[in-house]
Structure 1
Amino acid sequence: MVRCVVTGATGYVGGRLAPRLLDAGHTVRCVTRDAGRLRDVPWATRAEIVTADLAEPEGLAEVLADTDVAYYLVHSMGGPDFEAADRRAARNFAAAARAAGVRRIVYLGGPDPGDADASPHLRSRAEVGDILLAGGVPTVVLRAAVILGSGSASFEMLRYLTERLPAMVTPRWVRNRIQPIAIRDVLRYLVAWADVPDEVNRAFDIGGPEVLTYADMMRRYAAVTGLRPRLIVPVRVLSPKLSALWVGAVTPVPGRIARPLVASLVHEAVCAEHDIARYVPDPPGGLIGFDDAVRLGLAKIRDADVETRWATAAWTGAPAEPLPTDPNWSGGTAYVDERTRPVHAPDAALWRVVEGIGGETGWYSFPLAWSVRGWMDRLSGGVGLRRGRRDPHRLHVGEALDFWRVEEIVPGHLLRLRAEMRVPGRAWLEMYVEPGPDGSVYRQRAVFLPRGLAGHLYWKAVSPFHAVVFGGMARNIAHAAERAAG
């Protein structure tokens, strides 16, 4: 049994690694800035969850105490001075690991940037690896390019570009060579390094068995999924910035996430060595090829068995403030739209409708208005509606749900969503299920805390539409529950 610490457990890779380490018989301590976001994951009761911020060195050594292997799976995807933030977090972590006597650090980074013209994102990932390697604790840096798996940002980008565009004018980087790797192989490497006894202190390139261009990947994806062959015409005029806007318009991946992804594709990302096989041998059937990785990812999506998604990770900033409980809002102004409807259906039927809201199901009210609001958000650099939901039936705290995030869920009673669309203030939507004389009662509350004059003007501009949007939503949710109950 190995004692493991996993940082980034609310992210795409960390959220899959923690349960696999537990299944392998290891103990797992997850480090997160917001422990509530791991409250409802299926494996939460099997792990120890502690709250800490890698940007603050105080207490990190205690968090890492009695640890054999520490997994460093955090990084910024942009924001002001993100390189300095990543540098500071890595230095704090390395120092704390050394003080705590950690046996090994394992870091999942990006491909070797190679030259000075590399993107800031790739340079920062490489710098973090160098800091950890020089930190005094034996460190393994795994350098991966495109990771293919259900719910990964890279996979979603490839999937939507290929499925939605039978013919496309593309930037030149679609001709660059890439060595993608399946998420299953990434996780196999990560788990294996908990048991490798050698005191290795170096970086390893990791990739799948095939080297492809991005255009090859789109064509192969189309072939695997039975789509007609895609017409791809590379041109010279689409810069990485314009490419990110193009990706943001066509796929669920917003521009601020697409930018570092595109920037990592501008340079070729092919493994220079496969030395990792000396320590973690390839499986008997070999590493997973591109076509099989696509099939596995799509099967997970089809079966609603997506463990983690890129949208669930907290990409920027500190954890958002929850809905204030002070009834006077600390002297500020709160706008509230509240609606209540009796429902001639049992509590359980109403709750199934509430918990299944969003994604492909929609929001039970004026679809055009929701669609327009989603497009407005994307045009302003927000996430829009396309993030959808991970599971069509179940939600847990911290999950992304279209342009909301689940802030609280009390099964059978309350679903509270925090807005992540771009608005001049903070907004929440609460949905309650309560007992009623003829079945149940649905109660809905929208709360908006304006920021400055723009916030007040925003609420006044949209409030005339609330009767249609929020009123229709409450009415249609009630009707859906009654229909479901028969």
Structure 2
Amino acid sequence: MPGIPDGSRVIPDYPAPGPKESAVNDAHQPRRTVLVTGATGYIGGRLVPRLLEAGYRVKVLVRSPQKIASVPWRDDVEVVKDNLADAAGLERALAGVDVLYYLVHSMASGSGFEAEERRMAGLVAGAARKAGTSRIVYLGGLHPPGIRLSTHMRSRESVGKVFLESGVDSIVFQAGVVIGSGSASFEMIRHLAETLPVMPAPSWVGNKIEPIAVRDVLHYLLGAAALTQSVNRAFDIGSREVLSYKAMMKEYALEAGLPRRLVLALPVPAPRLAGLWVALVTPIPWSMSLPLVESLQHDAVSREHDVDLLIPRPDGGLTGYRRAVALALGKERDGQVETTWANAGADADPLPSDPEWAGYRVYLDERKYHSGIPPEQVWRVIEGIGGKNGWYSLPLAWRVRGWLDKLSGGAGLLRGRRHPHRLAVGEAVDWWRVEKIERGKLLRLRAEMRAPGRAWLELSVEPDGGGTLYRQRAIFFPKGLSGRLYWLAVLPFHSLIFPAMSRNIARAAADLQAGDAASP
């Protein structure tokens, strides 16, 4: 078929409803209240502002409110600090709620994972029933019937069944690979395509996948809240365009302006080996890459399009794969990435304040640097650190440490950052996570690299006469003897990296100041 890439086909369109057939609510209906779980995640963080724009009252249930302290919509929502394991807390959070969005799903695959996911879903469903919530909306995974699914996909299917059997009207959307900047699935495709001109791959790269643009996922989620009739069933959603995983990588390369990629499908499935390979060459850690790869072992194509009878398609129609890739890349170039997989579900103990360090064995590397550059210019460099901007000292040494971290199953340096110039609490910056930010003053990063202990990096500025005093300190709480030996092993690298980092940050700030002065 002309214009359709090798390994792909288009699903015939299902008749779309006319205006009178749509069950979607209109502007005369009373304003409804929704509760979003997973608001700090990739999909939830994008859905909340769209719900607000559509006129809903929005409550968000979060374990760590500080993770949404910097989002633009923070003051427009009601924040409930609680967790999904507290049935009484759930009932309180659901008081007065018409629609519950359940957008929480772990990427774990260990023993007991499925049972725990079902238990959590059961608690939520029970609380929704007691609170009189009229609808639950869940986003699950697209999968073929009657086959043995991976642990990850089986868990998503069972959570959907819990809601459908709960006695509360539930809509379970089943989507395949979500294409959008910051999506874990998209990042996997992107990094494989950009890193490997020739890729020997397992046999599953020939499986059929029906991708869907993140904007279309959000369209369906938003539409589910507006439905006025009783609905309790699952719906397949997708772009109606089916490609092989191999074709998706090739099409990504074309859209990104890369040379043609050669993908060689080998006659072995090898999900664990493929998961390890993905973890090494992409930002996705092993703990997430394995369930992602396992979910690709079978075709993921929609079997029905009944959703068209309830929710009209987006204006302009569903988004094709190449268009979705182009939109994702365009958002990044414009610095408009709203959410990213790397910022979802990350909670860890914060750095104890200095007086509480008594009783800990603590190692410090502290640096100061005076410059004649105004603090606001130095801060611009600090808040833009990491990702494509780098770490301002010995790039090779940082890359080597990043690859060592990847080899040990850590995050490495490939996660980058969501926005090139702005940071918020909870966001990933390479192998770090933003734990605290006092804009214009202090940035504290918590390490998520593999190490025998806990580590932080603090960067701060303060006025110093007509210039700036820049402070930098690396903090390490070792774990046992291995932690102490680790610190001794990295000390030589610190003596090279950290002094250069201080100087180069000041120089970069001077360059920014000179550039501002030269601008008309």
Question: TM-score under structure 2 normalisation?
Answer: 0.91
Aligned: 1:158 with 2:189: yes
Equivalent position of 1:214 in the other structure: 245
Aligned: 1:334 with 2:362: yes
Q: Determine the C-alpha separation between the residues in 1 that align with 2:256 and 2:448.
A: 32
The answer to whether the Cα contact below 8 Å between 1:142 and 1:204 also exists between their aligned partners in 2 is yes
For 1:214, the aligned partner's letter is: Y
Deviation, 1:463, is 1.8
Equivalent position of 1:6 in the other structure: 36
Equivalent position of 2:473 in the other structure: 445
For 1:82, the aligned partner's letter is: F
Provide, for residues 274-305 of structure 1, a one-character-per-residue CA deviation record: whole Å limited to 9, x for no partner: 11111102235321111111111111111111
Aligned: 1:275 with 2:306: yes
Q: Determine the C-alpha separation between the residues in 2 that align with 1:458 and 1:352.
A: 32
Instruction: State how 1:1-400 maps to structure 2 within 5 Å.
Output: 1-78=31-108, 80=110, 81-112=112-143, 114-314=145-345, 319-400=347-428
For 2:429, the aligned partner's letter is: L
Q: Determine the C-alpha separation between the residues in 1 that align with 2:502 and 2:261.
A: 43
Provide, for residues 312-370 of structure 1, a one-character-per-residue CA deviation record: whole Å limited to 9, x for no partner: 1126xxx2111101525241211111111112100110100110100011111111111
The answer to whether the Cα contact below 8 Å between 1:113 and 1:123 also exists between their aligned partners in 2 is no
The answer to whether the Cα contact below 8 Å between 2:269 and 2:297 also exists between their aligned partners in 1 is no
SS of the residue 2:292 aligns to: helix
Q: Determine the C-alpha separation between the residues in 2 that align with 1:455 and 1:160.
A: 32
Q: Determine the C-alpha separation between the residues in 2 that align with 1:306 and 1:329.
A: 37
For 2:122, the aligned partner's letter is: R
Change in 2 beyond 3 A, CA 1:85/1:194? same
Q: Determine the C-alpha separation between the residues in 1 that align with 2:143 and 2:512.
A: 54
Provide, for residues 373-423 of structure 1, a one-character-per-residue CA deviation record: whole Å limited to 9, x for no partner: 100110000110000011110001110000000001001000000001011
The answer to whether the Cα contact below 8 Å between 1:343 and 1:482 also exists between their aligned partners in 2 is no
The answer to whether the Cα contact below 8 Å between 1:406 and 1:416 also exists between their aligned partners in 2 is yes
For 2:295, the aligned partner's letter is: S
For 1:60, the aligned partner's letter is: L
Q: Determine the C-alpha separation between the residues in 1 that align with 2:358 and 2:159.
A: 41
Farther off after superposition, 284-293 or 430-439 = 284-293
Q: Determine the C-alpha separation between the residues in 1 that align with 2:269 and 2:396.
A: 31
The answer to whether the Cα contact below 8 Å between 1:150 and 1:298 also exists between their aligned partners in 2 is yes
SS of the residue 2:392 aligns to: coil
Question: TM-score under structure 1 normalisation?
Answer: 0.97
Q: Determine the C-alpha separation between the residues in 2 that align with 1:125 and 1:352.
A: 42
Instruction: State how 1:424-443 maps to structure 2 within 5 Å.
Output: 424-443=452-471
The answer to whether the Cα contact below 8 Å between 2:181 and 2:337 also exists between their aligned partners in 1 is yes
Equivalent position of 1:406 in the other structure: 434
Q: Determine the C-alpha separation between the residues in 2 that align with 1:346 and 1:276.
A: 57
Equivalent position of 1:459 in the other structure: 487
The answer to whether the Cα contact below 8 Å between 1:254 and 1:383 also exists between their aligned partners in 2 is yes
Q: Determine the C-alpha separation between the residues in 2 that align with 1:238 and 1:165.
A: 19
The answer to whether the Cα contact below 8 Å between 2:203 and 2:269 also exists between their aligned partners in 1 is yes
Deviation, 1:311, is 0.7
1:470 to 498, 503, 512: 498
Change in 2 beyond 3 A, CA 1:188/1:168? same
Q: Which runs of 4+ in 1 moved over 6 A?
A: none
Structure 2 portions without partners, runs of 5+: 1-30, 515-520
Q: Determine the C-alpha separation between the residues in 2 that align with 1:227 and 1:482.
A: 35
Deviation, 1:237, is 3.4
Q: Determine the C-alpha separation between the residues in 1 that align with 2:307 and 2:379.
A: 49
SS of the residue 1:360 aligns to: helix
Q: Determine the C-alpha separation between the residues in 1 that align with 2:143 and 2:200.
A: 28
> What RMSD, in angstroms, separates the aligned Cα atoms of the two structures?
1.4
The answer to whether the Cα contact below 8 Å between 2:209 and 2:301 also exists between their aligned partners in 1 is yes
The answer to whether the Cα contact below 8 Å between 1:19 and 1:43 also exists between their aligned partners in 2 is yes
Q: Determine the C-alpha separation between the residues in 2 that align with 1:131 and 1:34.
A: 26
Report the identity percentage: 55
The answer to whether the Cα contact below 8 Å between 1:77 and 1:256 also exists between their aligned partners in 2 is yes
Q: Determine the C-alpha separation between the residues in 1 that align with 2:379 and 2:258.
A: 38
Q: Determine the C-alpha separation between the residues in 2 that align with 1:192 and 1:165.
A: 39
Q: Determine the C-alpha separation between the residues in 2 that align with 1:247 and 1:428.
A: 27
Change in 2 beyond 3 A, CA 1:48/1:453? same
For 2:479, the aligned partner's letter is: R
Deviation, 1:219, is 2.1
SS of the residue 2:241 aligns to: coil
Equivalent position of 2:27 in the other structure: none
Change in 2 beyond 3 A, CA 1:303/1:437? same
Structure 1 portions without partners, runs of 5+: none
Provide, for residues 208-229 of structure 1, a one-character-per-residue CA deviation record: whole Å limited to 9, x for no partner: 1201111121222223333333
Aligned length, in residue pairs: 483
Provide, for residues 2-36 of structure 1, a one-character-per-residue CA deviation record: whole Å limited to 9, x for no partner: 20100001110000000000011111111111111
For 1:353, the aligned partner's letter is: V
SS of the residue 2:230 aligns to: coil
Q: Determine the C-alpha separation between the residues in 2 that align with 1:328 and 1:5.
A: 37
Q: Determine the C-alpha separation between the residues in 1 that align with 2:87 and 2:450.
A: 32
The answer to whether the Cα contact below 8 Å between 2:436 and 2:443 also exists between their aligned partners in 1 is yes
Q: Determine the C-alpha separation between the residues in 1 that align with 2:228 and 2:275.
A: 42
Q: Determine the C-alpha separation between the residues in 2 that align with 1:328 and 1:148.
A: 45
SS of the residue 1:342 aligns to: strand
SS of the residue 1:193 aligns to: helix
SS of the residue 1:58 aligns to: helix
Provide, for residues 408-444 of structure 1, a one-character-per-residue CA deviation record: whole Å limited to 9, x for no partner: 1001000000001011111111111101023111011
